[in-house]
Structure 1
């Protein structure tokens, strides 16, 4: 398996999995993707069904990852998967349980039982083990520089904390995360973890990370790597749970189901797109956004317009308060027939110069839903309150606000797509207690492992919205 950049031609230099694991962003500013997606057949799916039932999630993870990784010995990769996905970390041996909501067509895929109560743990726990393995193999150190709108940061820090060969510098939008999310991150006292409260919104944090990655000299000097979903390994890890959920909900190896996915940065649903391209029988990918509905706008109009920081609304599903979806470039690369020159023009020239690009009149956009299975919708604060309240009182199921966005949009499409529809959970309700209390007039239960989290001392540095200030901090603390 070899990897190419979304902004390079089909004949551009390819890289191995281990190389792109440590590199993150491609040198030309693009994102790495497989030169071609591995393909699944009925026999493979049947064997995986048996593997999941008899040997569990870690072995399934090994089987899926083996399609993307050919430069780590198979036994070593299996050990990595076994260390990443343990019952101790995820609460049960199932790792990713799924439950039906009432007796209707909706199911809930529980992805938030990991160490930080967010679906990001599903990829980050694996990434931590992969980084540790590869850095030991190369006798190197890596400085992770990332951006978070809430959950990526804590998941990354909990996966990387205490690892001698790794340090983490995580940018957060100052004042934009929930109190619980802030406590999870800023309460960590590990010396290799560095939290930065950045004076801006998530998009500003993400822009700073990309600018640092684009500085080849600085990147080489400080061995800069990435854990945001610009890192291909994150998506490979997420493909695994699409496979697991499909196996657990279906009974036949050709049965098609749909997924409803809350997403702001397009990473979670991009993994679903990849799984579908590989041949997993996915009928429809239902994209759900909040009031920051840049992605919904594209999928309904063909126009992708990023917003200025001042236009990004602060919502009650804050992890999706994003207008620059970094993983979106991977999908556009596929949509445009993997034409790297066109992608480079759209994301490298048109978007910076105009603030938007428009594909509405292209033949590729006009066959988007039929070819790629995407539909979309958006949700408001009132919608998510009503959804949380309804599920709780009607079905005894309590969900967080982001998952509520997914359920709300799934209901909009329920009569027009193949069922069952699996809604991907994004976090446990405890992370957004204020919204939960507003919806059901009761605060969510705090899991025992988080009982003292709000009282821990905070360790965070405030920095202005300035890339050089972040570089100076990295240099001073590396």
Structure 2
């Protein structure tokens, strides 16, 4: 499986290359060169799996066994989910009138980002130990990303993490989750401005390819393909739990509401829809003040 930049001007890389990259050298994001096509028999098999089992199957499609052998991949994912409080890791709660809630909050920090971040951190440590390398992770956060990233990598010998949080713009609980971790590899700084404003210097840093290479920098924000990959499992799992049968032609649609800020969780839905089936997705967005939402074959974000 090869990955190419969304801008089409950067060399292709394998999963390891995409994992350790923030932006591609041309300023784009790494995405799979092609998406696998799943037949109905595969979907039936996946529908019977636990959430961790589904993540394993999904990741195996996008991570070559020459990079992470399947047994190692399974072990990494089991390790990633070992600290979750619910035995199912992700649980679907059935309410009235065919309304369901997918519980994504059973991780250490109670944020859905624990799911993808814990797996991504395991993948990183696997390659770093194998290559005898060290990286510094730079993360900008409004709260949940920073907490989940810190929990995933704290204490790791081959990773340092620098987290920038906007002073006065995080919840008290999330601020405490980040500022009370006393590990030598965790460095947290409060900065002026909101989370959108603190993203600007981070983008500038990752735009300097030579600087990034010199200091072995990388990002764990949602520009990292590994996070999008694991988040695809949310949508598969929810679909399989909700549909009455996979024997219907065409496959029945499921209407999904995704509470989201910048659309990171929603990003996992897009490739999922292309490799299997389509959903109806009315989306609940919390938009920056200078953005609006237009409905064109789904929800599209455009600047005012």
- The bucket for the TM-score relative to the shorter chain is over 0.9
Change (3 A) 1:188 1:138: same
Check conservation: 1:96, 1:245, Cα contact below 8 A: no
Q: Which residue of 1 aligns with 2:88?
A: 94
Q: Which protein, 1 or 2, shows the higher relative CO under an 8 Å CA cutoff with sep ≥ 6?
A: 1
Check conservation: 1:59, 1:82, Cα contact below 8 A: no
Q: Which residue of 2 aligns with 1:453?
A: none
Change (3 A) 1:17 1:200: same
Higher helix share: 1
Check conservation: 1:171, 1:198, Cα contact below 8 A: yes
Write the deviation string for residues 418-474 of structure 1: whole angstroms up to 9, x where unpaired: xxxxxxxxxxxxxxxxxxxxxxxxxxxxxxxxxxxxxxxxxxxxxxxxxxxxxxxxx
Shift of residue 244, structure 1, vs aligned partner: 1.4
Q: Which residue of 1 aligns with 2:258?
A: 261
Aligned with residue 76 of structure 1, among 51, 72, 75: 72
Q: Which residue of 2 aligns with 1:188?
A: 181
Shift of residue 212, structure 1, vs aligned partner: 1.0
Check conservation: 1:157, 1:193, Cα contact below 8 A: yes
The gaps in structure 2 that reach 5 residues or longer are none
Q: Which residue of 2 aligns with 1:317?
A: none
Q: Which residue of 1 aligns with 2:162?
A: 169
Check conservation: 2:56, 2:73, Cα contact below 8 A: yes
Aligned with residue 61 of structure 2, among 67, 71, 84: 67
Check conservation: 2:293, 2:300, Cα contact below 8 A: no
1:219-234 correspondence runs (5 A):
219-234=212-227
> CA–CA distance in 2 between the matches of 1:224 and 1:24?
8
Instruction: Give the length in aligned residue pairs.
Output: 295
Q: Which residue of 2 aligns with 1:460?
A: none
Check conservation: 2:262, 2:287, Cα contact below 8 A: no
Write the deviation string for residues 54-79 of structure 1: whole angstroms up to 9, x where unpaired: xx322221100111111321111111
Check conservation: 1:269, 1:285, Cα contact below 8 A: no
Change (3 A) 1:374 1:290: closer
Write the deviation string for residues 216-252 of structure 1: whole angstroms up to 9, x where unpaired: 2221121001100000000001001211121122231
Aligned-pair Cα RMSD in Å: 1.7
Check conservation: 1:154, 1:185, Cα contact below 8 A: yes
Q: Does 1:152 pair with 2:148?
A: no
Check conservation: 1:272, 1:285, Cα contact below 8 A: no
Q: Does 1:283 pair with 2:275?
A: no
Q: Does 1:243 pair with 2:236?
A: yes
Shift of residue 158, structure 1, vs aligned partner: 0.3
**How high is the TM-score relative to the length of structure 1?**
0.59
The gaps in structure 1 that reach 5 residues or longer are 301-367, 377-478
> CA–CA distance in 2 between the matches of 1:283 and 1:120?
22
Write the deviation string for residues 78-105 of structure 1: whole angstroms up to 9, x where unpaired: 111111122xx2212211101122x223
Aligned with residue 294 of structure 2, among 296, 299, 315: 299
Change (3 A) 1:92 1:298: closer
SS in 2 for 1:259: coil
**How high is the TM-score relative to the length of structure 2?**
0.92
1:101-116 correspondence runs (5 A):
101=95, 103-116=96-109
> CA–CA distance in 1 between the matches of 2:92 and 2:160?
34
Shift of residue 291, structure 1, vs aligned partner: 5.9
Check conservation: 2:22, 2:223, Cα contact below 8 A: yes
Considering only CA atoms, is the larger Rg found in Structure 1 or Structure 2?
1
Write the deviation string for residues 288-337 of structure 1: whole angstroms up to 9, x where unpaired: 12363655x2424xxxxxxxxxxxxxxxxxxxxxxxxxxxxxxxxxxxxx
Shift of residue 375, structure 1, vs aligned partner: 7.5
Write the deviation string for residues 338-368 of structure 1: whole angstroms up to 9, x where unpaired: xxxxxxxxxxxxxxxxxxxxxxxxxxxxxx4
1:285-364 correspondence runs (5 A):
285-290=281-286, 292=288, 297-300=292-295
Shift of residue 154, structure 1, vs aligned partner: 0.2
> CA–CA distance in 2 between the matches of 1:99 and 1:81?
24
